[in-house]
Structure formats: structure tokens, C-alpha cells
């Protein structure tokens, strides 16, 4: 039964973030030709034979050196990618520092209320007819936004990833606010994001039940200053100022997979 007070979501790519620290002491023991072979093997392990993509990111700072962001059509392909990488020779020189499991998600606050209102005028809420009509409408909505649920990997140089929660404290609890209040706050939040259209691609993924935080956020842009300006401005809206909690941030440079050997040789890998 569809709960009118719980916003519906539409799901797309399954996503796995893998963060590693490189054991340079081990890599230095191998000649350049061996590192080139190890890079090629790792790239092949993360290649996608049918649907999906993998972002290669050189991470800035101490939290990790490399981050691989795998977009796949389900958890089975994610498991295959993780296992394939773990069996490569390069993996012997990588120490896992973190990871994140989620699914690309579009929230439907406005549409949820509208669908309940429209169908409630035709069918008794909770009836089989209502539920079937609701499912048909949600599928129609899903087909309209397939390009956002299964988006192509953004070819932007800079990447920022962070997980986040909505606060559930005793004084402030996002989930105890009324549906209307939450919808209004999310509308304000979304309006800020729209002003950055064309400057940044934002990928929201849901992780409730999958990982330690509730959502993961990936940002792709050609100018890293956009990350700072967008996130700073959003922190002034009510949804963020009162209810947002942020996890660790990972920021870095996306590069082309065939540049992995350049990175292992000590060069900054390029995107194109």
C-alpha cells in the first residue's frame, strides 16, 4: 500500500564507490612495463561489457589516492566488478580505505502528492484499483525520466562525493515534519540547484538500508569552485541548515581509464 505521507522514489543505476590508498612502496618494485600491464588488467576488470560505466578519479588529500565509481544495472554486476578488481595484480598494491553502496534516486515529493490527489478522486485509497493505477502512473513517470535514472557518465574533470543524512534528533527530526513542510523545504532546496544547471551535474543516490548514511551525492564539474559555491549556498536553505548532516568529502580529478598507467608511473592522468 502506498503511504501518502512517504514520498515515492524512482531508481536507476546501482552505484559502488571504491576508495583505495596506493602502496607506492610496492609499485616501485616493479618496472614501468609491469605497471603498464597491471594498469591494463585493472582497467579491463572494471570495463562494462553491456550497460554501465566506471569513473576513475585521482583523489586529493589523505583519505584515498584512487576512487572508482561503478554504475551498473544491479548489485550482481557491482559484485562482479568488485571481485574482478580484487583479483588483479594491481589490487595487491591497493589498501581499501572506504566504500559506498547506493542506487541512483529521484525523489518525488511534488509528484507523490499530485498522484494521490488525482487518483483519490477516482478510486478509494488503499483499494486494489487505486494501487494498480498508482503503479501504472509511477511507471509512466519512470519512463519519462529514464535518461536521468540511467544517465551517461559525466565527462567532467572534477568530481566531489559525499554521503549525508537528514537529522533525526530529539529536537529536530526530518521524518516527524509534515509531508507539506518537507515538500516545501525540498522545493526551496531544489531551486538553488537549478541555478547551477550547466555548471554541475549532480547525481543523488539513495543508500537507506545499504550503507551507513542515507544518501550519496556525486558532483561533476569543469570548475572545482562550483562545488564550494553550490554546497555553501545550499547550507543556507532550511532543509540543510536545520536537518542536513554531512559525512566525509572526497574530491579529485576524473581521468580516462587508459591513463591509469600514467598515474602509476607518477604522472597526473588526464581526462582526454
Can you read off the three cell numbers belonging to residue 147?
A: 535518461
> What CA–CA distance (Å, rounded) separates 188 from 184?
6
The catalytically annotated residue of 162, 196, 250, 263 is 162
Contact yes or no for 50/241 (Cβ under 8 A): no
Contact yes or no for 224/253 (Cβ under 8 A): no
162 catalytic per annotation? yes
Give the number of other CB atoms < 10 A from CB of residue 130. 18
Give the number of other CB atoms < 10 A from CB of residue 108. 18
Give the number of other CB atoms < 10 A from CB of residue 213. 19
Cα dihedral 115, 204, 76, 212 sign: negative
> What CA–CA distance (Å, rounded) separates 175 from 191?
21
**Measuring CA to CA, how many Å separate 24 from each of 88, 95, 133?**
16, 11, 58
Catalytic positions: 162
Amino acid at each position: 500500500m502506498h503511504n501518502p505521507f512517504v514520498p515515492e522514489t524512482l531508481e536507476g543505476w546501482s552505484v559502488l564507490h571504491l576508495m583505495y590508498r596506493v602502496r607506492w612502496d610496492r609499485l616501485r618494485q616493479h618496472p614501468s612495463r609491469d605497471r603498464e600491464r597491471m594498469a591494463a588488467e585493472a582497467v579491463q576488470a572494471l570495463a562494462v561489457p553491456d550497460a554501465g560505466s566506471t569513473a576513475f578519479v585521482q583523489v586529493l588529500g589523505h583519505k584515498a589516492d584512487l576512487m572508482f565509481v561503478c554504475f551498473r544495472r544491479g548489485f550482481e554486476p557491482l559484485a562482479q566488478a568488485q571481485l574482478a578488481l580484487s583479483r588483479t595484480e594491481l589490487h595487491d598494491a591497493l589498501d581499501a580505505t572506504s566504500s559506498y553502496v547506493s542506487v541512483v534516486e529521484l525523489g518525488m515529493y511534488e509528484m507523490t502528492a499530485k498522484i494521490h490527489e488525482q487518483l483519490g478522486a477516482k478510486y478509494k485509497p488503499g483499494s486494489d484499483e487505486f494501487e494498480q493505477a498508482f503503479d501504472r502512473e509511477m511507471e509512466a513517470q519512470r519512463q519519462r525520466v529514464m535518461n536521468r535514472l540511467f544517465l551517461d557518465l559525466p565527462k567532467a574533470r572534477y568530481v566531489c562525493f559525499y554521503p549525508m543524512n537528514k537529522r533525526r534528533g530529539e529536537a529536530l527530526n526530518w521524518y516527524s515534519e509534515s509531508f507539506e513542510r518537507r515538500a516545501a523545504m525540498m522545493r526551496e532546496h531544489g531551486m538553488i540547484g537549478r541555478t547551477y544547471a550547466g555548471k554541475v551535474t549532480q547525481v543523488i543516490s539513495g543508500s537507506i538500508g545499504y550503507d551507513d548514511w542515507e544518501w550519496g551525492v556525486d558532483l561533476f564539474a569543469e570548475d572545482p569552485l562550483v562545488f564550494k559555491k553550490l554546497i555553501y549556498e545550499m547550507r543556507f536553505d532550511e532543509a540543510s541548515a536545520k536537518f542536513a548532516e554531512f559525512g566525509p568529502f572526497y574530491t579529485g580529478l576524473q581521468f580516462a581509464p587508459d591513463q591509469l598507467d600514467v598515474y602509476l608511473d607518477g604522472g597526473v592522468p588526464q581526462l582526454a
